[in-house]
Each structure stands twice: as C-alpha cells, then as structure tokens.
Structure 1
Amino acid sequence: MTRNLLFAFAAFLTTTSFSQELSGEQLLDKAIAYHDPNGIWPVFQGAFTVTMTTPDEEKRLSDIVLKLPREYFHLTTLKDGVTISQKLDKEHCELLLNGSAEISEEESKKHRLSCERARMMKDYYTYLYGLPMKLKDPGTLLTDEVQTKTFKGEKYLVLKVNYAQEVGKDTWYFYFDPATYALKLYQFYHDESANDGEYIILTGEEEISGIKMPKIRAWYYNKDDKYLGTDVLSTLSSLEE
C-alpha cells in the first residue's frame, strides 16, 4: 500500500469511527454551534436578498425581512417587471401588486397572491435559511445513527430526518463537513424507493445577523442530476420598522 493510500485509509477510518461515536442529536448540536455560535436564531431579526436563476427564465430578486420574536415576515419579489409584496405581521396580512392593494381575482390567480401562500413562503424561507437550527423544531424526528457517505467525491457525516405526520411526509438527509460540521448539502425524497425529489448543494457563506447561512444553493433532481436553478444570498441593509 502506497503512502498516499495509507493516509487516505487512515482518514477514512478516523471519519467512520467518529461518525459512529456521534449520535444524531450530538451531530446536530455541533452543526448548530458552527452556524449559530451565539444562539441567536430563536430571536433572529435579519434582512437578506435571494437572487434566483433558472434555465430559460428571467432572474427573480427576493428581498426578505424576518423578525422571529415579532412573528414578522416581509417578502418583496421582482421578476419580469412585476413587483409583489407579501407582508405578515402576526395575524395581519398585506398583499401588494406593483404597489397597489387593489388586486383583481384574475391577477391573484395569475401571480398566486393570497395570505395562505404568504404564510407558506414565510415557512419556506424560515426553514431553508434557518437550517440546521430548524431541525430542533417539534415534530422533527432525527435518526440516532450518523452515517458516513461519499457524495460527488466528497465525504460527509449524514443525518437522516423524518417528520411527524402533521408536519411533513418527506424524508430528508443532511450532509455535514466532518471537520467543521458546516451544512454542505441536503437532499429530500417524497418516495425514496422511486429516487424522486431533489438535492441541493451549498457553497460559500454569508453572515446575516450573526448566523452563518449558505451563500449559494444549487438545486438538482435526484433521479437524473438535472440542474434546476441556483439561489444566491446577499445582505439587505434595511430591516424596516
């Protein structure tokens, strides 16, 4: 066995052994300590922009303001010259289309504008940009065993997550850097036996109000690795009143 192979084998044994020593809860705690070292997430107040690019479509710019203690969410999107504002302040919901609250039923359907959808978007952005902290939420079922997997030539510590029936039905896998415990990739299936669903590769970081969030998220289908799109995160200066 060559010297390089010996080093590689030793590294593999170390990573494998360490993954067996960690429980799922311990791995999650270490990942949260990396992304949110000061325990800010429960009182997070931040603003950021997500620029989404998808094949053969115009870019979509989304400005997001989240104030968790106030139950406040404001999403402003710009695409194809159309600006949509969706604001939730506790139970109050405000929808604007190009700055106007006068929205016809036809326009509501075309742009999928409703308070129900605004709440869904709040949950969507809070979940994805609140990872891995959101894996502490009630109804999240962590598998105790930590797996070691190689994905696209890179080794990761992997945590499998299911959800209580009232929360969600998908199966998720979260891939962490074995050295830093940073979240590097996640993958979900509606039906794992059918290899459906998607995987999302995370690169770079952007610090938003003390939280280390993934800078770039690239989305692909599990079944054929088809590229779906990329989200790029940047800081938004205004937190609003």
Structure 2
Amino acid sequence: MKKSFFYCLLCCFIYITTATSQELTGQQLLEKAIEYHDPNSNWETFNGTLNVTMETPKNAPRVSTIKINLPKEYFYVKASRDAKTTEYTVEKDTCVITFNGETNISDKVAKENNLSCDRANMYKNYYTYLYGLPMKLKDAGTVIHPKVTKKTFKGKKYLVLKVTYKESVGKDTWYFYFDPKTYAMEVYQFFKDESKNDGEYILLTDETVINDIKIPKKRAWYYNKDNGYLGTDILK
C-alpha cells in the first residue's frame, strides 16, 4: 500500500515538473500576455480618452488629449507645447487639421509646422499601436516568432517574444519582454538594423486600468546604442 502511494506521488511530481518546465511557444506567450492585459477582450471595441504628457530633455512638456474609438474608426489628438496647439481628427477616410484653433491653414504655416493628413494618420497608427499592445500583435501582417527566449534586462529576468512584420506592414524587428510569472509587458525594443544596434528600447512602469485594460502609465524611451535618454510619456 505504501509503495503504491509513494509511486503515485512520484508520478504526480514528475508530471507537474514536466508540465511546468515545458517551453512556451511565441503564440502561447502572446496569449498569456493578452490575458493579463485585456482579460475580457475589450480592446477590439475600445472607446476611450488618454491624457498623455511627454517630457523630454531641454523641451517644455507636450500635453496631449487622445481619443480612440475603434468601432467607429475615429481618432483625435490635441497636442499643446509652448504657444502651439495642433489638433488632428481622422474618421475613416476623412482628415481634419486644426492649428491654434484655425482650420483654414495656409500652405506656409502647414509646411513650417509639418501639418498634413499623412502626419495625422501617422499619429493614429502610433498611438493606437503603442497603447494597444500587446493586443495589437494579433493584427494581420504580424509575424510572431515561435521560439521564446529568456533574457536578463536591467537586472530582471524576462520571457522575450520576437516580432517582425510582412514587408507591406513594416520592416523593423521588435522584442517584447514579459514578466515570467504574471506575463505583464514591461519592456519593448525595436531595431531598424539589429547588426548596427540602432533603434530604441522603452521601459514600462506603473499601470492604470482603462476600459478594464491594464495599460502602462509611464513609457521611458532610450537609444539602444548608448542608453541615451530620449523622453518619457506619462499617462495621466
């Protein structure tokens, strides 16, 4: 009886050890990260407002109000720094630009301040991508590499997911760093040419909950090549 009991106990221990030591695939890691950040799958119907302050060395803060309504394909950003306020509204295929309260903008002013619908869509893609991570990694054209690596970054161990994109979507190589216990996304970095160690890495700290989605409050940007500090986005 005792032998049978200890044999069963040993089998259970071996099973548990084997199961927990199995390596996650890239897709499995992504699913666990999304389960942590967006447990109720709310990103697809996201409709909310983000108030972001960007702090950069030697510049006044840039204060932005960002509205994203994914079901209606609506995006709006109002950004103010010094005496300039720019507003971009993108709704499906339409674009409206406002500069210091004026929509009738001369070509000269538009050129001097880099105002265009291309830039409006760039902001739309930028903010929707960054604040929609890691859920945005399920978008079409995203290539999730199957092998998950383990890496120590800034003194902490992470599970690292490599992501590239089909040529029609993008050319950068991205790495996403997840806490091995909670699967929270805490760092990501990208390279234009990894052999040159170019590109940047972003440290994510603190969290806030918007529409039941856990979103990092602070994003501090640094160069990969020399750890040079670029700035911090703070979600108010």
The two structures have a TM-score, normalised by structure 2, of 0.90
Query: Partners of 1:93 and 1:190 in 2: how far apart?
Result: 29
1:171 aligns with 2:173: yes
Partner of 2:71, secondary structure, is helix
What is the identity, as a one-letter code, of the residue corresponding to 2:210? I
Native 8 Å contact 1:20 1:146 kept in 2: no
Equivalent residue, structure 2, for 1:58:
60
Supply the AA of the counterpart residue of 1:139.
G
Structure 2 partner of 1:4: none
Query: Cα deviations across residues 153-184 of structure 1 (Å, max 9, x unaligned)?
Result: 10000000010000000100000001100000
Q: Tell me, in whole angstroms, the C-alpha distance in 2 between the residues paired with 1:100 and 1:20.
A: 59
- CA distance in 2 between counterparts of 1:37 and 1:136 reads 15
Over the matched positions of the two proteins, sequence identity in percent amounts to 58
Q: Which amino acid aligns with 2:61?
A: K
* Contact kept? 1:20, 1:145, Cα under 8 Å: no
Please state how far the C-alpha of 1:19 moved relative to its aligned partner. Answer: 7.5
Instruction: Look up the match of 1:117.
Output: 119
**In structure 2, what is the equivalent of residue 233 of structure 1?**
235
State the partner residue of 2:143: 141
Question: Match of 1:187?
Answer: 189
Paired amino acid for 2:110: S
User: Unmatched 5+ residue regions in structure 2?
Assistant: 1-18
Q: Give the counterpart of 2:220 among 215, 218, 225.
A: 218
Q: Which runs of 5+ in 1 are unaligned?
A: 1-16, 235-241
TM value normalised by structure 1: 0.88
CA drift of 1:102 comes to 1.4
CA deviations over 1:208-237 (Å, ceiling 9, x no partner):
122111100000000000000000002xxx
Going from structure 1 to structure 2, the CA distance change for 1:19 and 1:143 (only over 3 Å counts) comes to: farther
The one of 199, 206, 209 equivalent to 2:211 is: 209
Aligned to 2:4: none
Partners of 2:211 and 2:76 in 1: CA distance: 16
Q: State which structure, 1 or 2, has the greater radius of gyration over its C-alpha atoms.
A: 2
Deviating runs (4+, > 6 A) in structure 1?
A: none
Give how far 1:18 is off. Answer: 5.6
Once the two structures are superposed, the pairs formed by residues 146-157 of structure 1 within 5 Å of their partners are: 146-157=148-159
| SS state at 1:70 partner | coil
Q: Which amino acid aligns with 1:130?
A: G
1:103 maps to 105
Q: Give the alignment's Cα RMSD to 1 decimal.
A: 1.2
Q: Is the 1:76–1:84 Cα contact (8 Å) retained in structure 2?
A: yes
Secondary structure of 1:69's counterpart equals coil
What is the aligned length?
Answer: 218
Q: 2: distance between equivalents of 1:100 and 1:206?
A: 34
